[in-house]
Structure 1
């Protein structure tokens, strides 16, 4: 049995939108684990609680009830805070909010410098991290002159330079154009597959979720579906009821099945769709 990188046990988080009003649940009784080395996607529409649970995974938020354990450390213990954040890095939606320096390599060095890493080791980490995200040749460029996708890759390099065991991506492609989205997602998958870093990706894009090892679907602060992408997306009716789509080919198979055509509905891509249609002949 694999070891857990993140363990959420009956986690709830309440907030008060306006002073004097009743508290509302952003997350309500959520339990799941993220295995070390796993690529997990948390899927849901706006207001589902997915970003709130993400912020619990590196102690930006502390649960109102329940427990979050990150690599064996309880987020409620103040003494664990910096250790948790060095083990579980976070990349946010807007790359401009994460870039702090005027030169790319200085930006990537910012995190390890704050961790007190020796200068020689920082130099090594900066070069390694920029190579991992394919941005080494831009190391002396000004970040603000780069494209959205390139900026997001610099933000990822900055987290990688801190040598985390886990990276939580909170809708990192939401502000990017399609080509930027593709390059960032390719990068995220490479980091997971080549370096064994645990990935938690928060998104509402079906094509991104389809590439994960496992998908958790949230709605109204609760986990409503969980499993491999193939299993989750075959629940077309349930997904549509909560306002989420499924990959287009999966939906097409679902509609064909409803029309009386005997076709597999556990299909995620065009190649599988072509194979399934050929078998009908």
Structure 2
């Protein structure tokens, strides 16, 4: 098995900057302020940050929905700042948004999934195969002739993911895809995302407010005021309870419990991520 460190760069940002300047005399408002970032092929990276921290703006640059006002960003080696490369970038890095209803363009599930490859000029027979394969990969094949508006939120989001898969991307960027779903729908989507990453090697970049989703990543990036302030594995990130809270973020409940127990003098390790780890740590105290 190839080590992540030996794999090629899927996303590389160099001094990436984006600002909004509505008036000539206005001070520039930076949503991205000199981002340097590398994400390797096959990684599962989670991006955290409160509203306005720049995480969604960063994601849109990865899909060429926004162009930077400074710096560079490359997607699978392609210069995403060159508008002539826009469609090639989007073939390689597909994006799933927060509201699945806004992504539905057809009245039948399989037609919706076919929309992307049709726009890429894929031959009809290959489109048929891609649609079937993509729906099977997200466990929605049996719903292929259903009307999307009759599906649950989690099912709609899985169809949206299938639509991206049918374009054969190397990377999927998910911008808070579970924000509008109930707990069951969130579990459905996350199970699908993990499968795509682990079984098919698709690079996943997942933006979320849910800490139980964040701990599933290989790596977590924390953003604040358009900058990256932490970039590490989940355990190391969630050791920084006070820092995360200072920038308006939560931590997993069990992590916070461990942190409070440590402050009371109980000799636990910071960065406990789940109930199983907490039980083991408490048992070791005996």
Common topology (TM > 0.5): yes
Give the direction of change, closer, same or farther, for the CA distance of 1:18–1:211 in structure 2 (3 Å limit). farther
User: Bigger shift: 129-138 or 252-261?
Assistant: 252-261
Moved over 2 A (4+): 16-23
Task: Give structure 1 stretches of 5+ with no counterpart.
Answer: none
**Corresponding pairs, count:** 281
Distance in 2 of aligned mates of 1:237 and 1:276: 21
- Superposed CA RMSD in Å reads 1.1
Q: Are 2:73 and 1:60 equivalent residues in the alignment?
A: no
Shift of residue 16 of structure 1? 3.1
Distance in 2 of aligned mates of 1:137 and 1:155: 15
- Over residues 205-263 of structure 1, what are the superposed CA-to-partner deviations in whole Å (9 max), with x where a residue is unaligned? 11111000000000111101110000000111100111111111111111111111111
Distance in 1 of aligned mates of 2:106 and 2:59: 26
Matched with 1:37 is 42
Q: Are 2:238 and 1:239 equivalent residues in the alignment?
A: no
Distance in 2 of aligned mates of 1:19 and 1:150: 46
Report the TM-score, using the length of structure 2 for normalisation: 0.96
Q: Are 2:150 and 1:145 equivalent residues in the alignment?
A: yes
Q: Secondary structure at the match of 1:279?
A: helix
Distance in 2 of aligned mates of 1:263 and 1:62: 46
Matched with 1:160 is 165
Shift of residue 31 of structure 1? 1.0
Q: Are 2:280 and 1:275 equivalent residues in the alignment?
A: yes
Report the TM-score, using the length of structure 1 for normalisation: 0.98
Matched with 2:21 is 16
Task: Give structure 2 stretches of 5+ with no counterpart.
Answer: 1-5
- After the TM superposition, which residues 79-118 of structure 1 pair with which residues of structure 2 at under 5 Å, given as runs? 79-118=84-123
Q: 1:176 pairs with 157, 177, 181, which one?
A: 181
User: Bigger shift: 69-78 or 133-142?
Assistant: 69-78
